[in-house]
Structure 1
Amino acid sequence: MTKSRLVPLLLLSTVMTPGIAQAQDSTTTPEAPAPEVLAAPAETAQDEPEGDAPDVSIPGGAIIVTGRRVVNVERSATEVLSVLSSEDIARTGEGDIAGALGHVTGLSVVGNGYVYVRGLGDRYSLALLNGSPLPSPEPLKRVVPLDLFPTSVVASSMVQKSYSVNFPGEFGGGVINLTTQAVPEESFLKIGGGIGWDGETTNKLSYSYYGSKTDWTGYDNGLRRVPHDMQALFDSNLALNPNSELADDIGSILFTPRNSVIQTIENTQPNFSADLSAGTSFDLGGATLGVIATAGYSNTTQTRQALRQSTQLLSGAYEDRDQDGTTVQSDNRVIVNGLLGLGLEWGENSIRWTNVYIHDTDKYAALASFKQPQQNANWDFMEQSTGWYERQLIDSQFTGEFKPTDDTTIDLRAGYANSKRLAPYEIVSRYIRRNTGDGGVGDLFTNALGSGTGSAPTSISFSRLNEDVWSAGADVSHRFSTNWSGTVGYAYQINSRESRQRQFLVIANGDSELIEALGTARLDVLLQTGQWYLDRTGLDYDLQLQDPTAPYANYRARLLNHAFYGKVDGTLADGLTLDAGVRWEWAKEQSLLVPVEGVAESGVTLKNEYFLPAATLTYEIDPEMQIRINGSKTIARPQFRELIFQNFFDPETNRTYQGNPQLIDSQLYNAEARWEWYFNRDEHVSLGGFYKHIKNPIESYLLYSNGYFTRYANAPSADLYGAEVELQKYFDLYNLGSFFETRRIAVNANYTYTKSQLNVTADDITNVNGFLSAATNYFVDGAPLTGQSKHIANLQFGLEDTDSLSQQTIMLNYASKRVTSRGVNGTIRQPDIFEHPGFTIDVIVRQGIMIGASELELKFEGRNLTGRAHKEYQSFEDGDVQFNTYALGRVFKASASIKF
């Protein structure tokens, strides 16, 4: 077999299967290509650049060792994938990995850092760190939001779009694998910092509240610690009696000027960040020990003035507004991150221990002003909210790669990860001005604490989530002949989650005039300690702290997964290679509502096993051109909270969620074909098509019953198909003069078309909480899947220097509208709620300057130069209802770093 035929096969041991990729001098040529060495085609080896391969660590795959002659990873892999190297990530200028992935073909970022691959996300997405699973800090999801990961801790990001059996079976649009920074070959120290300006926030008015003195660090100094009596109540797993002295004692200390009084900041500070990284290695005589550490801090503030409207449920008509107003909210987000890695290499063996810490805090304050015409068109409503959302991820992983013989490699990995989410003292209070015109209390904003028409209780919530993930795996790969290799592997994973969300309501009972008069006070004064005991002085005024969420406040969930797989790959004929295998997965998923004060235990257990096959054929038309065809079967499991038929109030979306214990797994049947042409060094064009049939997809729908509820059910089926095209091309400019001698124009463009639809007929039924109902009661035939844009396009072009750091890049991005939530299914089914990401232009300039032996890197970023707004709306015949629409500022950032 010629070297040109080995290209698709030999990457098996470095990217797609276990093995040790041994660093070697570029002048050394082995007599016969060893399985762990990336071999370039014989005809074009001299044209391939000499440089560093992106560091990639995946299940059933090796950590690619840098510092050797490499070929294009996407070209040589056995599957359809895209790899962002550290340089690719740096070129985008993004601060978190979710933003960087938004420039990859077929990927879009939905919500707060959730990356959708080919229109599939949420339960259909899979994110790994160094090949190991990650826990989510979000109560309603098992998938981790990727905006948690700063780009400074990520060495590469691989997106694999065609399934291979070395990955977990929960594979929808694709898998995203993040690889952390590797152990350095040379000692270094890098220090950096930056400052940013948001056109809608910086130096303008924003809202906040005092909080604690250490909030700027992202850590609370103990001010938000749960009071002793309340913690004892939580630990007892009992409901609070609103008529008890304990309720008064707890309520009297909850609301203070530090947590419930919104303050205005006239001139909001700029955004700023700082980071530090260092690494070194030690020669131990026959082995090399390396150490790398990074630390980062960022502080950003964003203020949004959102137009929020909703229509009346029964009529569902455009003109019948249920609510119409504006909400101004400010989020001060502080992220602290760190990484510590140790690596030991000897011969062709290596072990790595990687530890990642990420702490993400959002200090939230919002003030809403709105009308409720269906209530009373003359009244004005004002609602204030404060919150503190603290997310944390700790991940520790061990990876060992060993080569006992020339033809055998062993890959071992084990990991522990923990995620937490704390949200204490989430406070929401409503004031009403009835505009009576008499100059009295009716012309003032009053908080009647749920007493009287239109009034609402003041709520205060405490939530906590903790999830642990233990994982382990082993893979053995053996080359049986020159043309064929085989791999077997085992993976173990157990997720354990505990979640508590307790919402308390403050309600006033007694004389209505006294309640109205006292209700004009500021919230911390209205609910100060003495107010809770006024009824004991003889006044007809009684504050109650009610505990309505106690029966469904706590839940536990667990997912246990065992998997075995086997695969073979090799050459079927000249130029035709096959990678095929099957994965067996056994999983037991449990979601259990923890009983509170005699409430019956409820929960559900799903236990299933699957055989999941996958195969990829690659035909090499010539050394620069190839065609791939892939087919596979994968699954998607319900998320923990979706399986519990109890209310869960999410203050971030202001909605109540109810699970469905009758949900079952979704099964996906995937097919893909792709043509690729690598016509020059680092240059290629590709065209592909894909199709997915989803059996029993899990979809959400909205219901109204004394409030909005989001529920879940299995739709009968769905289809998703599309096409994507990608081009990467460079244009040398050496003929334009000495200044351009080492410069070139870089162009990277991609476009993805995706079409999805639910398939629902009049004869289809679905199981909703034990009741069989017509699927048409919940789903609309032909409706697109949630979060899927039909058109996604990215264009990067700019000038770069091939000899030194000098890049000037313009990035254009477009995404068409996508469904964010189903319309309410009331008397009349309302239209779906759409988001329109639209068109953006970003400019990134990076320039390196040598100062002695050190390099200073200067970077300038201009984001959202088109001034695109965030638009979330419902379309009616008479016009659009703006569900959540606000301006997004143009953002400018300057940063500098120096490397010693």
Structure 2
Amino acid sequence: MKNLVTILFLSCTVYLSAQETGSIVGKLTDKEYNDEPLAFANVLIKGTTKGATSDFDGLYEIGNLEPGTYVVVISYLGYETVEIPNVTIEAGKVTTINVPMSASEGVSLDEVVVTTVARKDSEVALLLDQKRAVEIKTTIGAEELTRKGVGDVATAVSKVTGVSKQEGSGDVYVRGLGDRYNVTTLNGLPLPSNDPSKKNIDLGIFGTSIVESIGIDKTFNVQNYGDFAGANIDILSRNYSGSGLLEVSLSSGVNTLVVGEQFYLNDGPTYSGFYDINAPAFPLNNYNFTTSWDRSEVNSPTNIGGSLKIGKTFNIGEKAKLNFFGVGSFSNGYEYREGINRGGVNIGTALANSEYDYIGFKYNTNTTAMANIGLISEKHSLKYNTLYLNTTTQRQDEFTGIIDREDDAADGGGFIQRATFERNILIVNQLLGNHKLGDQVEADWGVSYNMLINKVPNRRQNTLVPSINGVPESAKSFEFVSAASDNHRYFQDLDENELAANASLSYNFKVNEDDGFDGKLTLGYSGRFKDVEFYATQYNFRIRRGSGINQPLINDIRNIDGYFNQENLNAGLYSIETFRGNAGFGGALIPQYYTGNQEVNAGYVSLSYKLNPKFTMLAGVRGENITQSINWSTVIQGEGDNSLSTFEVLPSLSLKYEVTEKANLRFAGSKTYTLPQFKERAPFLFQEEVNQDTFGNPNLQNSVNYNADVRWEFFPTASEVVSLTAFGRYILDPINKITVASAANDVSWANTGDNAIALGAELEIRKQLFETEKEMPNTILKKGMSFGANFSYLNTNQKLDPTKIAEETTFTVRPTFTETGLSGASDFIANGDITYNFDIKENSNIQTTLAYNYFSDRIFALGSEGRGNLVDKGVSTLDFISSFQVNDHISIGLNAKNLLNPTVTRYQDNAIGNIDPIFIERGVLEQEVDILTYKKGLDLKLSFAYKF
């Protein structure tokens, strides 16, 4: 299958070609009135009938221009006419021409600012698109990302109203709703997650150097997949068009908690992250493991990064072009954490069943390679994109304290050491086509083949307890460790393969006075076909007891290899077994597994129509047939299978009314759904964290969402916007993460009730605080400061149904509350940034950005059995980003992330209000108890880039 798709891609690349037009946008200002916007000026292409009139903001746009060189003429009654020669229009790009008009002295061509970038790069063009679009959307282009000093996609989208970034990751929350409710696409095609426990890819791994623009649709459009209620985040990959690009960048930095400290990681994994190891042959009969149980010291834990970007355009004949862009990068990062880690809290005493002092060492790597090839000719376009990601996380975690108040190390003195290495390999291949079939008909299509490989090779955990009960300071021993799985080595492999395709045919009708069209009818198809295979084997080291067995004392907890070795195996001090059995059982080495298949076939029709000059409608309906099947074989559940099948009819309606030239009123309504993930439905026990296991619920069903949005937006100037949005979600069969009865904080997933309601509001303000210009002999130097802030409030409520949960789950759990909020939802989100930019000289400038983000407390998992909800405490973050463009070739950057360095806290909430009456008699948790706390430190980075 992989070879077939590759051959198909290469064949299409050889035989197909494409064409794009360019456009001109810009802003006209009035020199007679302090450079205020100049409305109703005429902009014409000399020798043609193409032209435009500037609006109240001085903005204009002339589109659908064939590539070539033109003369642009700008005129206004009583003002000098400006004629701009030799304006070059490039295919697929937008040329920005900003002109200050004057009545008395005319305009020198030196005052006219002309720049050419890809349309999705241009901040002016994107603001025009947002202003004119029917649907509610926000797009951030590369020009804005550069101006604000943004380095990755997660940070970029977190600047959008109602979007926050999860602390310590690139996961984003839209309007307070987390991973489950969002969709991530690349060039309109689905993008798999690099983490099998998440629905969406970590946006932090995408550097903005590969991005042309990022579109955030918070309302449903029938051309998008219906599995979302938060947002569709579409990354448009960068395409190059120019004479040539070669840029090298290097960076180095440190984390303040790591500097000057001894740092430890696992034995085995490599610095680069390209590491894998398989279980040894005959692992139950002999001790054949070659990696050490003990930690390994790291010298000079310094963060580094580097990237190489190349681009080139080749002319093929007179009208065809071949564009190429490629980027390769590597980066790493060291982190240190120190705090507390607690297990499930006992009702009445408010004491955790386990309680540790915790230290953790963490090392991440990210290797990215991406290439785009675009073939452009007169009437067709073809683009091939390929992306390779190799991301790794290595953790060395150590826990000291009470392992179990009723059993192991009940008075303290227990020690657990866990070494984990996880590797994710993501490969994306895409082929995209666009065809102009005359003036009124256009065809778009795309196909992608994605592969995800997730490996956890040789996770290791060992557990020691005091040799004398009740004496924490006594020498350690394995003898009194109760469970064989407390000392183990674990191997996991997961493979996902997904084929996806989009195709649409659009017909434009009803020509208007601007030679455009007031109506557009689109028919389309989308399909996703995913297969998943998960296999895992854990080798448990069972400590043997009894007459004749003398377990030694462990005086050095850093020398576990001195105990787990061939000599002590031969002496009978321990045995090696899997969850299925020991060497005497024939099927002991058969992995536990689950396999799954998911198919989505969808067809849609949409109609965009301008009812009158002020009122535009976009209506459509999408039908999706979804099947998701899963098979498993585990020790606890045995062998089994389950399937989910549904057909969803998903209508949508968007309305836009132009109240004035500067203000719009919008409405959007739709129906969508939320699909559970394979991991959430697989009845497999995942022991990914000490003190917290997760396991799936095979009876989990999809949710159905009814969505409504109303927005008022006002554009005071070309670079400013004020908007206010009210929105609501009505969710049937909401899916929530919920804690289950256990000594730890084990969680699973369930449809926790019949419905949930989410109501909220958003406010966005983008303001240019000041901007000045200084004329120089050969250029105009600018100085300015801009400010952006957005706020989002969300209130969620759901009535929990213990009977429904009992009937639709395979585990025993009763929610503590009768009503509560949705898991993963924050009530309040605030984002703010202030950017200062000034030009030192031609092609030399400094930009600095101070960016702030806050999200309020969000429920991690719903509480049960009298315990409150597990809640992630609200966090404020503050970042400083600066860049210095020295000249055409050299740029320098200085970043300081997480300046406030807040304490990250997860706590068990108290059970007050809306309590299930059954727990009033049994007792409830009446106070908050911190479950997990740590700090991340400040990340400081210095970067250098050279463009040849």
| TM-score after normalising by structure 2 | 0.81
1:590 lines up with 2:629 in the alignment: yes
Q: CA deviation at 1:475?
A: 0.7
Structure 1 residue identity aligned to 2:316: L
For residue 834 of structure 2, what is the aligned residue in structure 1? 797
| Residue 124 (structure 1) aligned to one of 181, 184, 198 | 181
Deviates more, 1:629-638 or 1:115-124: 115-124
Q: CA deviation at 1:545?
A: 2.1
**Counterpart-to-counterpart distance in 2, 1:225 and 1:761:** 45
1:136 lines up with 2:190 in the alignment: no
| Residue 615 (structure 1) aligned to one of 649, 653, 656 | 653
**Counterpart-to-counterpart distance in 1, 2:553 and 2:503:** 67
**Counterpart-to-counterpart distance in 1, 2:835 and 2:59:** 27
| Cα pair distance change 1:399/1:344, threshold 3 Å | same
Q: CA deviation at 1:600?
A: 5.7
- Deviation per CA, 1:417-463, whole angstroms, max 9, x where unpaired? 1111110110111111255799xx98212223xx4569973011101
Q: CA deviation at 1:108?
A: 1.8
**Counterpart-to-counterpart distance in 2, 1:484 and 1:276:** 44
For residue 485 of structure 1, what is the aligned residue in structure 2? 520
**Tell me, what secondary structure is at the counterpart of 2:824?**
coil
8 Å CA contact 1:719–1:759 kept in 2: the answer is no
| Cα pair distance change 1:673/1:33, threshold 3 Å | farther
| Cα pair distance change 1:433/1:458, threshold 3 Å | same
Alignment of 1:442-453 (within 5 A): 443-448=474-479, 451=480
| Residue 872 (structure 1) aligned to one of 876, 889, 906 | 906
8 Å CA contact 1:687–1:724 kept in 2: the answer is yes
8 Å CA contact 1:53–1:64 kept in 2: the answer is no
| Cα pair distance change 1:770/1:820, threshold 3 Å | closer
Q: CA deviation at 1:855?
A: 2.4
**Counterpart-to-counterpart distance in 2, 1:248 and 1:519:** 24
For residue 734 of structure 1, what is the aligned residue in structure 2? 772
For residue 538 of structure 1, what is the aligned residue in structure 2? none
1:544 lines up with 2:576 in the alignment: yes
| Cα pair distance change 1:316/1:410, threshold 3 Å | farther
**Counterpart-to-counterpart distance in 2, 1:693 and 1:20:** 44
- Deviation per CA, 1:588-615, whole angstroms, max 9, x where unpaired? 1111114889x86411111111110000
| Cα pair distance change 1:139/1:839, threshold 3 Å | closer
Q: CA deviation at 1:627?
A: 0.6
Alignment of 1:340-351 (within 5 A): 340-351=371-382
1:498 lines up with 2:533 in the alignment: yes
**Counterpart-to-counterpart distance in 2, 1:337 and 1:554:** 30
For residue 60 of structure 1, what is the aligned residue in structure 2? none
- Deviation per CA, 1:88-139, whole angstroms, max 9, x where unpaired? 3345545432233222211122363322211222322211111111223434
Alignment of 1:391-470 (within 5 A): 391-434=424-467, 443-448=474-479, 451=480, 457-470=486-499
Alignment of 1:695-774 (within 5 A): 695-705=732-742, 708-714=745-751, 715-734=753-772, 742-760=782-800, 765-766=804-805, 768-769=807-808
**Counterpart-to-counterpart distance in 2, 1:383 and 1:24:** 63
Structure 1 residue identity aligned to 2:301: Q
**Counterpart-to-counterpart distance in 1, 2:943 and 2:785:** 24
8 Å CA contact 1:873–1:881 kept in 2: the answer is yes
For residue 570 of structure 1, what is the aligned residue in structure 2? 609
Q: CA deviation at 1:705?
A: 4.5
For residue 132 of structure 2, what is the aligned residue in structure 1? 76
Unmatched runs of 5 consecutive residues or more in structure 1: 1-18, 57-62, 231-246, 536-540
8 Å CA contact 2:481–2:543 kept in 1: the answer is no
Alignment of 1:50-129 (within 5 A): 70=125, 72=127, 73-91=129-147, 93-110=149-166, 112-129=169-186
8 Å CA contact 2:476–2:553 kept in 1: the answer is no
Structure 1 residue identity aligned to 2:125: V
| Cα pair distance change 1:128/1:797, threshold 3 Å | same
Q: CA deviation at 1:394?
A: 0.5
Give the length in aligned residue pairs: 826
**Tell me, what secondary structure is at the counterpart of 2:385?**
strand
1:197 lines up with 2:245 in the alignment: no
Q: CA deviation at 1:412?
A: 1.1
**Counterpart-to-counterpart distance in 2, 1:819 and 1:55:** 45
8 Å CA contact 1:54–1:156 kept in 2: the answer is no
Q: CA deviation at 1:684?
A: 1.0
**Counterpart-to-counterpart distance in 1, 2:722 and 2:45:** 30
- Deviation per CA, 1:462-484, whole angstroms, max 9, x where unpaired? 01111011011211111121221
Q: CA deviation at 1:881?
A: 2.1
For residue 149 of structure 1, what is the aligned residue in structure 2? 206
For residue 174 of structure 1, what is the aligned residue in structure 2? 231
8 Å CA contact 1:561–1:588 kept in 2: the answer is yes
- Deviation per CA, 1:369-407, whole angstroms, max 9, x where unpaired? 122444455330111111111011100000011101011
Alignment of 1:791-830 (within 5 A): 791-801=828-838, 804=843, 805-823=845-863, 825-826=864-865, 829-830=866-867
Alignment of 1:3-22 (within 5 A): 22=21
Q: CA deviation at 1:566?
A: 0.3
- Deviation per CA, 1:529-572, whole angstroms, max 9, x where unpaired? 2222224xxxxx34232325978821111111110000001112
**Counterpart-to-counterpart distance in 2, 1:228 and 1:65:** 54
**Counterpart-to-counterpart distance in 1, 2:348 and 2:19:** 62
8 Å CA contact 2:20–2:91 kept in 1: the answer is no
**Tell me, what secondary structure is at the counterpart of 2:715?**
strand
| Cα pair distance change 1:196/1:296, threshold 3 Å | same
| Cα pair distance change 1:728/1:708, threshold 3 Å | closer
| Residue 305 (structure 2) aligned to one of 265, 273, 277 | 273
- Deviation per CA, 1:126-153, whole angstroms, max 9, x where unpaired? 1111111122343434333323333332
- Deviation per CA, 1:685-743, whole angstroms, max 9, x where unpaired? 11111000000011121112465532222122111111111111113343899999611
**Counterpart-to-counterpart distance in 2, 1:330 and 1:621:** 56
| Cα pair distance change 1:311/1:135, threshold 3 Å | closer
**Tell me, what secondary structure is at the counterpart of 1:622?**
coil
1:355 lines up with 2:366 in the alignment: no
**Tell me, what secondary structure is at the counterpart of 1:119?**
coil
- Deviation per CA, 1:356-375, whole angstroms, max 9, x where unpaired? 01100112211111224444
Deviates more, 1:109-118 or 1:555-564: 109-118
Q: CA deviation at 1:349?
A: 2.3
8 Å CA contact 1:687–1:726 kept in 2: the answer is yes
**Tell me, what secondary structure is at the counterpart of 2:374?**
strand
1:838 lines up with 2:886 in the alignment: no
8 Å CA contact 2:370–2:385 kept in 1: the answer is yes
Structure 2 residue identity aligned to 1:277: K
For residue 301 of structure 1, what is the aligned residue in structure 2? 334
**Tell me, what secondary structure is at the counterpart of 1:147?**
helix
Q: CA deviation at 1:74?
A: 1.9
| Cα pair distance change 1:310/1:568, threshold 3 Å | same
Q: What percentage of aligned pairs have identical amino acids? A: 23
Q: CA deviation at 1:863?
A: 1.6
**Counterpart-to-counterpart distance in 2, 1:296 and 1:28:** 44
| Residue 359 (structure 2) aligned to one of 313, 323, 328 | 328
8 Å CA contact 2:894–2:943 kept in 1: the answer is yes
**Tell me, what secondary structure is at the counterpart of 1:492?**
strand
1:226 lines up with 2:279 in the alignment: yes
For residue 819 of structure 2, what is the aligned residue in structure 1? 782
**Counterpart-to-counterpart distance in 1, 2:718 and 2:904:** 40
**Counterpart-to-counterpart distance in 1, 2:491 and 2:296:** 22
8 Å CA contact 2:153–2:208 kept in 1: the answer is yes
8 Å CA contact 1:552–1:593 kept in 2: the answer is no
Deviates more, 1:617-626 or 1:98-107: 98-107
- Deviation per CA, 1:45-77, whole angstroms, max 9, x where unpaired? 556799999999xxxxxx957689835132222
| Cα pair distance change 1:25/1:745, threshold 3 Å | closer
8 Å CA contact 2:358–2:398 kept in 1: the answer is yes
Structure 2 residue identity aligned to 1:109: K
8 Å CA contact 1:507–1:546 kept in 2: the answer is no
